[in-house]
Amino acid sequence: MFHSALRRTVTGRSICRLPATLRARMAQPISGAAALRRTQQLSAHLQTTRTMSTSGRASSNSPSPPSTRAAKLPTFNDPYSQTEVLQHKHETGRLLLLNRPKALNALTLTMVQAITKQLLAWEQSEYCNVVILKSTASPRAFCAGGDVKRVMEQVAANDPSYAQFFEEEYRLNYLIGTTRKPVVALMDGITMGGGVGLAVHAPFRVATENTMFAMPETAIGLFPDVGGTYFLPRLEAGLGKYLGLTGERLQGASVFWAGIATHYVPSERLPALEQRLCELPSDDPDVVNAAIEEFSEEAAKLTDPETNNTYSLRPYLPVIRRCFSHRSIEAIVAALEKEAKDPQIVVSKKSHPSITPKAQAEWAARTLATLQRMSPTSVLVTNELLNRGRSQSFGQCLQDEFLTVQALTRSHDFTEGVTAKLVHRGKVEPKWNPATLRELVQSEVFETYLRPKFPALDLSPAAYQTTLDARISQPDATKESRGGQEERDSGLNLGGVRKKKAPRSAMERLNQTPDLASRQDRPADQPLPYGLVTANEVFDLLRNPSLRVTEEELYAYFNHKFEGKIGVDAKLRIILDAYCDVKPDATVETLP
């Protein structure tokens, strides 16, 4: 599949101009079952593979002779390893490594600015085909969130710059979600809060057995920001509201089944996956997708209970849909109370076999108790922002979030939540004000936090000017971790002789590069790309009054649409069991 996609997308670039070692590897397709073996082979190969000389240029007639220095990813035992974001180049791949392991890579303003500058540079580089976001703290953490303790301190000191962190963080989220370069986020470890913002807007989001996903902001008096009000409403059947309001954690393959990750790759295969991505001669997203599919966990292992890859929320999907598909928070609470009190009536005939009425009642009671522990103000604000986000574009969601976050970070509940959860580490319970949902006056909350009079978020190309500095005058220049040595692009040439161009100023490139001057927002009705089939897509098909679809036709249709993506059959089984009914004539209908 990878090679057929590759042949379709490399027109205009002669394969014979690629390095001989790359041609040889491309001629060897990898099946899912053989990915682990190739991981070991490629890991060994990394020690001896050819690299382009950093001081020379590639010849247009013949490959450069092998370098005496083996290609390798950065090491972190040198003076430059204290840098919070590391950059690395390998062939056509570019890697950004979050490097604040003691803080689980909690984002700082410096880190946000560094990532933004490098993405802007690589977006304009003709030698960059893919950008990989990863962590030096894996498998413990990808990124545990933003440094909200610092924000709380700035607010307490009446420092007006407290909003700058969110302003530049949201611009980075927008850049990741709209850049033309394929971005692959390797969520190998804790991925929470601001880390979710780095990952979920990338077109390719890879989960491993180490992934732990959560958006726990309502527990600290905030809301699921960093574009969460765009991403969460596009999850299926009330799932986004459930995750956003309760802060529920998902681990491993559950992140894939929920539609948050686009692929599930065992962590032991990541080195070989990175190597393959760095070899791609095209920046076509379909080629990148096919390459990741080669290393994805096999379908049989994804559905084998003994592999611990099953979907932890599967037994509760029907009740999540019944409770969290409501628009108002009052209706959500009432539905949970009903499920907790009388499960015999509300248990669906299509409920998962492993769930009993008692287990469902206990789940509803636990979920209700969790919701009641969160900041009531945050819960109400979050619910309304998620409602609005369903019909807004990505940029509109971020702009609304920026207004709200400036107001909420000044509130009593934010200071109380951060102090209790992050300063005292949960040893004391926060004292919310108001203390319960019933005490809230909705009109006052909306006026204070959803229509505040604060500066708006500017997502225009000129807004990124402040992130550009002199280093951007060398678009593909990057500082490697090896001793802090500054290196220029290796000169890898896939299309002929590299021609010298007159240097342009940072603002000239900002205004003249189409990708920056006319960045395309992601519209409200755009589905999340490259992930699994969702229940919403199945509902749209089944609700077409002119169609009567059988179960067999449903499987055939979506397997064709998703081109045999690993996991589609299993996800369809989950959807049919949770939300649909198969009639005696084999036609499929959605349950009310």
pLDDT tens, residue by residue, 479-490: 454 333 333 443
What is Dmax (Cα atoms) for the chain?
76
Confidence tier at 354 by pLDDT (50, 70, 90): low
The share of the chain scoring above pLDDT 90, in percent, equals 58
Give per-residue pLDDT as tens, 188-228.
999 999 999 999 999 999 999 999 999 999 999 999 999 99
What distance in Å separates the CA atoms of residue 136 and residue 146, rounded to the nearest whole number? 17
- The answer on pLDDT for 500 being more than 50 is no
581 is catalytic: no
The reported pLDDT for the residue numbered 291 is 96
The question of whether 194 is a catalytic residue gets the answer yes
Say what the pLDDT of residue 176 is. Answer: 96
Question: What token pair was written down for 281?
Answer: 């001669």
Q: Which of 168, 169, 225, 339 is catalytic?
A: 225
Q: Tell me, what's the pLDDT at 379?
A: 98
Q: What is the pLDDT, as a whole number, of residue 353?
A: 58
Q: 130 φ, ψ to 5°?
A: -155, 145
Catalytic residue selected from 93, 145, 146, 195: 146
Check pLDDT > 60 for residue 49: no
Structure tokens at 439: 């005490």
Residue 358 has pLDDT above 60, yes or no: yes
For residue 542, pLDDT beyond 70: yes
432-458 pLDDT per residue, tens: 999 999 999 999 999 999 988 898 998
Residue 130: the pLDDT is 97
Specify whether 496 is catalytic: no
pLDDT, residue 590, reads 85
Q: What does pTM read for this prediction? A: 0.80
Which range, of 34-43, 395-404, 515-524, 558-567, averages the lowest pLDDT?
Answer: 34-43
Residue 76 in this model has a pLDDT that exceeds 80: no
pLDDT of residue 62: 35
Q: Structural domains in the chain?
A: 79-269+311-449 (3.90.226.10), 535-590 (no CATH)
What does the pLDDT read at residue 462? 79
317 or 77, greater pLDDT: 317
Higher pLDDT, 478 or 210: 210
Euclidean distance between CA atoms 241 and 164, whole angstroms: 28
Tell me how far apart the alpha carbons of residues 397 and 393 are, in angstroms, rounded to a whole number. 6
- Give the Cα-Cα-Cα angle 483, 475, 138 (nearest 5 degrees): 50
416 is a catalytic site residue: no
Please, what is the average pLDDT of the chain?
Answer: 80
Catalytic residue among 145, 189, 193, 194: 194
Q: What percent of the chain has pLDDT over 70?
A: 75
Band of residue 58 on the pLDDT scale cut at 50, 70, 90: very low
Instruction: Average the pLDDT over 308-329 and give the result.
Output: 92
Question: Would you state the pLDDT for residue 466?
Answer: 65
Which of 75, 81, 216, 194 has its CA nearest to residue 142? 194
Confidence of residue 242 (pLDDT cuts 50, 70, 90): very high
In angstroms, the CA 134 to CA 143 distance is 9
**509-523 residue pLDDT tens:** 444 444 444 567 887
State phi, psi for 9 to the nearest 5 degrees. Answer: -115, 0
pLDDT band at 467 (very low <50, low <70, confident <90, very high): low
Tens of pLDDT, residues 9-48? 333 333 333 444 434 444 454 454 454 455 444 444 444 3
pLDDT at 346 over 80: no
First-last CA distance in the chain: 39
- Considering 91, 168, 169, 217, which one is annotated as catalytic? 217
